[in-house]
Structure 1
Amino acid sequence: MRKLALASALAALSAGSAAAQPSGTMTLMAYSGIFQDNYTAVVIDPFKARHPGLEVTYFGPGTSSQMLGLLRSQRSSPQTDVVIMDTTTAAIACREGLVEKLTPAEMPVLDELVPLAREAGGECGPAVTFDHFVIVYDSTKVTPPPTSLKALWDERWRGRLSVSAPPNIQGLVLTAIVERMEGGDYRRGVDRAIARLRELAPLVQTFNPTPDGYSLILNDQVTFATGWNARAQLYHDQSNGRIGVMLPEEGTAFQINTINVVANGPNRAAARAFVSHALSAEAQAAFTDRMFYGPTNARAAPKPEALARTAVDPRYRDRVIPLDWNDIVRLRDAWNNRWRREVIAAGAR
């Protein structure tokens, strides 16, 4: 009888373990291009190897705004399980109930994250990557390597600048940095930044770089461009150093991507398992090593040479402006309007 009871218990345990393994198909919505290629290689593929009964479909619509639009259109019948999007857009998705609220009781890995990562997502999904604002430049034309944001205002570069204007998040971050450069504080207003950017506008070739500022440099269309560090570092390596990367001495700010479980998604078990994996120390370190995003898990141990190329490195932390993204979300429309009326219009004259 005891043997029979033990056998039954073991069978039940085995069945329970099998049931706990996510299976079927899970859909991740995130950025396309080089983000998709590298994220698949070092985060998704190892996850799939651990869950052979699960298939992961990657869907990359392009921008966070497009992702938000898709979540809204699919509210009654979601087709996505997990979404990676920037923190300002994710805050809207959280407020509208399009993504789930997460707690450490349900997902213990949340307690391993640095405080900023938890704060960035509010009650919903936390930060999964830290990127930061940089200026990229053509190192074959700009010598010595620039260190200051003020290099952009040099008349030598008239018509050779690419600046991503709002609603692109780069433009919002640039506004806060320039306000600080001019002795102000974005929380009290951006008059100083707008005035200084108005002076820059006539030197700018495009406020809407297509496909992006990195490509415009490599195609010899511009000399300087606003950018994000992770992609800039990859393009630096791929171009044999032609793409130079400057972390301005005036400061930078983190661009934060959060990872969220879609509310009422078709495969909730797989979604939660994947989010836990993506936030783990192992996956975080692997993605920093691969693509130079700063890790959000405090226990992550990326290679020192990779960490040194991010603003998370201790040498650069004092340059990081602590943006309150709740403030930025609230101020975004007003800043967008001022850019259109006062900055972009000045460049068209």
Structure 2
Amino acid sequence: MKTSRQCALAVGFIAAWAPDAISKNLIVNSYGGPYEEIIRERIIEPFEKKFGVNVTYDAVGSASQDYAKTKATGGRPGFDVVVMTASQSLDGCREGLLQPLTAAAVPNISSLNPQLRAIAGECGAVHELQYLSLVWRKDKLPEGLSSWSDLLDERLSGKVMLPTFQNVMAAYLISVMSVTNGGDLLDEVDPGFEAVAALAKGSLGFEQSSAVMENYIKDGRAWAMPFWNGRAQLLMESGLPVDYVRPKEGTVPLIATLNVPIGSENKEAALEFVNFWLEKTSQEAWVTGYKVGSARPDIDVPDEVRARQITTETDLNALLLPDLSALSQRLPQWGARWEREVVTQAR
């Protein structure tokens, strides 16, 4: 028979791990624009209601800036959960800046596609998939676009917006342009740099934030540009005369991850938040709300959503998948080449 002290200790232990015992505060860092509205409605508010946690939403910084802050602070950036990409997740895990996410701490991680889990590494929970698409204004280009090479069409001179290299979109653009012009994703990329440099000559310029880039396509200053397909889908559904495509040469996925900095002050709540976002119902809500793909193969979403998103192994196998660890190692060199060979060609 247990003593009263043993019972008290047992009750205390259970209470320490009960949902209502986790921290009542949580800081989540992610993006602004339409993303913020959707994440509040589809993920944050349901989480707050279920767990009684007050979530502070921090929409400052891009994924690369957030990672830089995490690195500069030794894994104590001031936020508890951060949305980044698989490349940054791998880097942060290797440098000991991010919390490993085990199935014991985040049970729903076991429901994700094993290949995608491996790509993101042990510190990243893949909560969405997008891909680099080609978006255009239908009122300006009614015949549409189908190839990455179409961006170099003379009709688009002065009508294409490009990302800065601080946006991972730039590295992906180099890779797909390289494949389009006879190179490969990582090693033989001279054709990619040459193509993007030629594209920069007739571009409108460069913007770092996807939220800012989309303003150019909204107001018609840009007629076409590389863009994440989820955001492109939202632009379509807003009533704008735009469309997008996976170009015929193929494209690279944006594997987005949820990460917990190693120095998170509210780690239990952070892990609970990550697990909540990976739940089947949460993934369904996120995929249908933000128009992205999912790493959970068991989700149920409308056919019209599934048709343009990455939701099956067949979709995944059709993508160009660079080794993200190898890509990460090349980024400093690529960034220097981008500034030297691409930016200098812009108007």
Q: TM-score, normalised by structure 1?
A: 0.89
| Deviation of the 1:88 alpha carbon | 2.0
| Deviation of the 1:315 alpha carbon | 7.4
Taking the aligned partners of 1:301 and 1:13, their CA distance within structure 2 comes to 39
Taking the aligned partners of 2:250 and 2:151, their CA distance within structure 1 comes to 15
Partner deviation per Cα, 1:111-168 (whole Å, 9 max, x = no partner): 1110233123312122111111011111111021222222111111111111214232
Gaps of 5+ in 1: none
Taking the aligned partners of 2:169 and 2:263, their CA distance within structure 1 comes to 32
Local SS of the residue matching 2:186: helix
Structure 1 position 340 matched with structure 2 position 339: yes
Pairs within 5 Å for 1:177-192: 177-192=176-191
Gaps of 5+ in 2: none
Could you tell me which residue of structure 1 aligns to residue 264 of structure 2?
265
8 Å contact from structure 2 (residues 129, 294) kept in 1: yes
Could you tell me which residue of structure 2 aligns to residue 40 of structure 1?
40
Could you tell me which residue of structure 1 aligns to residue 220 of structure 2?
220
Partner deviation per Cα, 1:4-38 (whole Å, 9 max, x = no partner): 99xx9799669835851124211111122211210
Taking the aligned partners of 1:99 and 1:76, their CA distance within structure 2 comes to 7
Taking the aligned partners of 1:62 and 1:192, their CA distance within structure 2 comes to 31
Taking the aligned partners of 2:40 and 2:222, their CA distance within structure 1 comes to 31
Q: Give the 3 Å change call, closer, same or farther, for CA 188–166 of structure 1 in structure 2.
A: same
8 Å contact from structure 2 (residues 48, 54) kept in 1: yes
Structure 1 position 246 matched with structure 2 position 237: no
Taking the aligned partners of 1:16 and 1:168, their CA distance within structure 2 comes to 44
Taking the aligned partners of 1:29 and 1:200, their CA distance within structure 2 comes to 33
Taking the aligned partners of 1:313 and 1:139, their CA distance within structure 2 comes to 29
Structure 1 position 20 matched with structure 2 position 24: no
Taking the aligned partners of 1:121 and 1:319, their CA distance within structure 2 comes to 18
| Deviation of the 1:249 alpha carbon | 1.1
Task: Give the aligned residue type for 1:257.
Answer: A
Q: TM-score, normalised by structure 2?
A: 0.89
Please say which of residues 263-272 and 65-74 is displaced more in the overlay.
65-74
Taking the aligned partners of 2:196 and 2:17, their CA distance within structure 1 comes to 58
| Deviation of the 1:326 alpha carbon | 0.8
Local SS of the residue matching 2:105: coil
| Deviation of the 1:98 alpha carbon | 2.0
Taking the aligned partners of 2:123 and 2:56, their CA distance within structure 1 comes to 22
8 Å contact from structure 1 (residues 140, 242) kept in 2: yes
Aligned-residue RMSD, C-alpha: 2.7
Taking the aligned partners of 2:145 and 2:312, their CA distance within structure 1 comes to 20
Pairs within 5 Å for 1:6-155: 16=14, 19-21=17-19, 22-52=22-52, 54-75=53-74, 79-155=78-154
Radius of gyration: which is bigger? 1
8 Å contact from structure 2 (residues 295, 311) kept in 1: no
Q: Give the 3 Å change call, closer, same or farther, for CA 17–300 of structure 1 in structure 2.
A: farther
Task: Give the aligned residue type for 1:20.
Answer: A
Percent sequence identity over aligned pairs? 26
| Deviation of the 1:68 alpha carbon | 2.0
Q: Give the 3 Å change call, closer, same or farther, for CA 108–159 of structure 1 in structure 2.
A: same
8 Å contact from structure 1 (residues 175, 190) kept in 2: yes
Local SS of the residue matching 1:145: coil
Q: Give the 3 Å change call, closer, same or farther, for CA 258–136 of structure 1 in structure 2.
A: same
Local SS of the residue matching 1:124: coil
8 Å contact from structure 1 (residues 202, 346) kept in 2: yes
8 Å contact from structure 1 (residues 252, 320) kept in 2: yes
Local SS of the residue matching 2:207: coil
Give the aligned length. Answer: 343
| Deviation of the 1:224 alpha carbon | 0.9
8 Å contact from structure 2 (residues 133, 244) kept in 1: yes
Partner deviation per Cα, 1:41-90 (whole Å, 9 max, x = no partner): 111111112112x2111111120122123324544855322111122222
Please say which of residues 183-192 and 38-47 is displaced more in the overlay.
183-192
Partner deviation per Cα, 1:177-226 (whole Å, 9 max, x = no partner): 11111222123320121222233232212133776332112222121112
